[in-house]
Structure 1
Amino acid sequence: MNRYGEVAINAVRSILNGEDEHPLIAWKRAASEAFGEGTWAQRKGCPKNAFLGLCEEGLVQGIPAGNYVKKSGSWKNKGYAIQAIELLKGRPELSRDKLGLWRAIMRENEMSHNSQMDVVLALWNKQLIISK
């Protein structure tokens, strides 16, 4: 699991432990601890918005559905994360193949992932995703 996956896990844990209530605050705290306050890696939007998108849809254990994704450009990362969850439900073997999962989402598009799949796979593999 890479560091963005760890940030996602730690953000959920802080909410489950009652340390934080809002997913964005939990993410910011966990990312600051992992990367340092104010660093580019701490502020990186793609993994954060994938996490917030899953939370927004009520797909993360212990986090109620709500309005957590603020910027309209952030919706694509939410979409990638949701698509990944749907793929994993039907093809759980992709939980061990980050690149294969990303390629299944992108189909013909040659775009590289930007840590969104690290967040999805960390939550999935730690059984913190709610199957609806």
Structure 2
Amino acid sequence: MGKYGEAAVKAVNYLKEHKHGDPIKAWNEVTIEIFGEGSSSQKKGCPKNTFLGLCEAGLLESIPRGVYTNSKKNKAYGLKAVKILGEIDKDKDIHQKVLWKEVIGDQNVKYNSQMDVILGLWKEGMIRL
């Protein structure tokens, strides 16, 4: 699991501890801890919006549905990845870039750590189907 997968898992754990806290605040807190406040990695939008898209959809344990992101693309990428993962053998090890290719198909879209978020949460059993 990469740093953004780690951030997503830590954000879910943060929210469990703080009983229905704010997913945006949780993401910001853990990414400051991991990357340093104000760093480009801490401010990176694609992984954050993928995480928040899963939160919006009510797919993460302990996090209620809500409005957390304006991103349509990264939310859609995350939801499609979860659908794909739900259709394969749970024990199958899938690499981030392989999953990314499955999600985007023939589109020429740059990978930006979205699947690190998805796979980090998936491997920890934090995604509800």
TM-score after normalising by structure 2:
0.93
Deviation of residue 108 (structure 1)? Answer: 1.0
Distance 1:12 1:105 in 2: 23
The answer to whether the aligner puts 1:79 opposite 2:76 as a matched pair is: yes
Match of 2:88 in 1: 91
Match of 2:17 in 1: 17
1:54–1:60 contact (8 Å) kept in structure 2: yes
2:15–2:21 contact (8 Å) kept in structure 1: yes
Deviation of residue 94 (structure 1)? Answer: 6.1
Distance 1:56 1:95 in 2: 26
Q: Give aligned pairs, total.
A: 128
The runs of at least 4 aligned residues of structure 1 exceeding 3 Å deviation read: 92-95
Question: What's the secondary structure of 2:72's corresponding residue?
Answer: helix
Distance 2:125 2:82 in 1: 12
Distance 1:119 1:15 in 2: 16
Deviation of residue 112 (structure 1)? Answer: 2.7
Which structure 2 residues correspond to residues 1-132 of structure 1 after superposition, within 5 A? 1-18=1-18, 21-69=21-69, 71=70, 74-92=71-89, 95-131=93-129
Unaligned runs of 5+ in 1: none
Q: Once the two structures are aligned, what percentage of the paired residues are identical?
A: 41
Distance 1:99 1:21 in 2: 31
Letter in 1 for 2:115: M
Letter in 1 for 2:96: K
1:20–1:26 contact (8 Å) kept in structure 2: no
Distance 1:94 1:116 in 2: 19
Deviation of residue 67 (structure 1)? Answer: 0.5
Kindly indicate which of the two structures has a greater share of residues assigned to helix.
Answer: 1
Distance 1:15 1:115 in 2: 22
